Structure 1
């Protein structure tokens, strides 16, 4: 699906028609930023019950999590581990759907100190920084579906733990089967649209592995912000992407959605994607396991003059390690 919006909304900004929403939210961007601050910085956990549907589905890595109580549980555990967490809302890329529903892709940079126990061990006292992107479908003041991607690989490394060793102890995939992934519904796009640029990037570089063509999609001075707080120029990013994709065979890359916002003389885009493949070669994820994996990602782009000038590429590398070590063959 492709959704394009030309209206720019901000926190406490211009009013937008929001059917069924609480009147304290002036627009959909305001809604996302305010509930994030209320829940995470003001510790108003009750807001989750007001703004998340009871039976919502959260897609996280290769798992689907059901129900608002799981959201509450996860939030409380995170706040217990990182009680001083501060969240910088870097971008909210949004769209309106069917007149009464909305879609948002919210990129967040968090700073926190680990003063409580985590799933990896006792408190380390270390300061950490990690990025998250949450894509949400919202209707009548409630999030009814969410795709959540967090750089847990970087988080675990900053805490001083070895993510490869931690993944061997994680049992989240022991009793699960790989999810089925629906085919892309994007169809053919206007060749002049920024969404077409991203669609072609995924087709030629991610799917067809024509990685040497990557320079056709980026400005020469473009910067890509990758996981583990690493920044790349185009030639370095080409090598990094090759290192990731070379781990896999029989891969199927599905570009699920592109959201486009017109902004500052260019366009800001969110692209949600999923890779389903076999881990059969050396590379970014270590020794080949032969396991089937699902890698979910959300990328944000700034496009000007028909080229990408800045990108944020986010996926949960630790979740893939957990699948490699614990998923049933």
Structure 2
């Protein structure tokens, strides 16, 4: 059996009801809420009443913040078009699945936003939404957006925005619960099929451990193709092993003691798109390195991120790496203000 013919575990149709496939469920429910503006479907059809949403500004529980945020976003960018670039998924038992939905959005800011009045400017940004769906309802979601790119596109100064949001105390720590000891067996989305994609998922974890935790960038060619393309924060596109290595080290230079933990992983085979992987990760350390986000504070940080990978011949040929540098800057500035208040 070829790699693209690997059979999935049986998934009951109730998992993605009322649609015929996981991909159709994710794409259709997104369009019905965002394109058709059926915001009420969040409550009426697609989200569990006690849904947990983990994002760059902390964890929320329930539908009220989801409905409010969706309503405000549509009003802020009424001509926004979100292109569903890919859906990477795996079963989580017979009635559940985890999906990583990569969306690239473009539009014009003609309404008020949390950043200020309408700018009339064009914007582009990428997001990754990692959703756990059971019996046709989203019960938990880990979502990250390139919000730094959006703020710059709208003409705002990210440092001024970070200061204003920090003064309001907008950032809160994530409430992730028990973190997985072995995400190959069970991540934050639940137990994986024991026979799923043996080998490829192990290589994903080894890559993160070697490059991010052990700083073994002499081994980067073991995991990435020579001509790899990396799409990363601030809307940047980089190519080649040296640039991928430098981008990773640039992140670590501000947090030199940081360690990365893998929260969830899934591998997906597709007859046209080939083999892809999706990983949710958490970077934890102290802001004790370079002054990328203002003077270093020495205070702890946590950065929620997600990546999708395209694999060929066992190596990564393309990575989409999404994390919210604006929320990171707000978190750091908020810690600085709180520390100053305590000292005074």
Same fold by TM (over 0.5)? yes
3-state secondary structure, aligned to 2:13: coil
Partner of 2:342: none
Per-residue deviation, residues 259-283 of structure 1 (Å, max 9, x unmatched): 0011348411001100111011115
Per-residue deviation, residues 234-255 of structure 1 (Å, max 9, x unmatched): 2112111111111114323111
| Aligned mates of 2:221, 2:308 — CA distance in 1 | 18
| Aligned mates of 2:141, 2:171 — CA distance in 1 | 23
Correspondence list, 1:37-186, <5 A? 37-49=31-43, 50-61=45-56, 63-171=58-166, 173=169, 176=172, 179=175, 182-186=179-183
2:317 is equivalent to residue 323 of structure 1: no
Per-residue deviation, residues 20-44 of structure 1 (Å, max 9, x unmatched): 6543x11111011001001111101
Per-residue deviation, residues 81-131 of structure 1 (Å, max 9, x unmatched): 101111100000111112111111000000110001111111000010100
CA deviation after TM superposition for structure 1 residue 17, in Å: 3.6
| Aligned mates of 1:27, 1:80 — CA distance in 2 | 31
| Unpaired stretches in structure 2, ≥5 consecutive residues | 186-193, 340-344
| Aligned mates of 1:265, 1:105 — CA distance in 2 | 15
1:226 aligns with one of 209, 229, 232: 232
Aligned 8 A contact 1:126 1:158 in 2:
yes
Aligned 8 A contact 2:15 2:133 in 1:
no
Partner of 1:28: 22
CA deviation after TM superposition for structure 1 residue 216, in Å: 2.2
Alignment CA distance shift 1:174-1:299 (3 Å): closer
Correspondence list, 1:303-322, <5 A? 303-322=311-330
1:217 aligns with one of 202, 214, 223: 223
Aligned 8 A contact 2:57 2:171 in 1:
no
CA deviation after TM superposition for structure 1 residue 192, in Å: 6.8
The structure richer in helix per residue is 2
Alignment CA distance shift 1:283-1:245 (3 Å): farther
Partner of 1:255: 262
Aligned 8 A contact 2:268 2:275 in 1:
yes
Partner of 1:238: 245
Moved more, 49-58 or 187-196: 187-196
Aligned-residue RMSD, C-alpha: 2.6
Per-residue deviation, residues 48-98 of structure 1 (Å, max 9, x unmatched): 111011111100025101111110000011111101111100000111112
| Aligned mates of 2:69, 2:75 — CA distance in 1 | 10
| Unpaired stretches in structure 1, ≥5 consecutive residues | 9-15
Aligned residues: 319
| Aligned mates of 1:5, 1:48 — CA distance in 2 | 35
Aligned 8 A contact 2:54 2:175 in 1:
no
TM-score (norm 1): 0.89
| Aligned mates of 2:309, 2:55 — CA distance in 1 | 21
Moved more, 107-116 or 260-269: 260-269
3-state secondary structure, aligned to 2:14: coil
TM-score (norm 2): 0.86
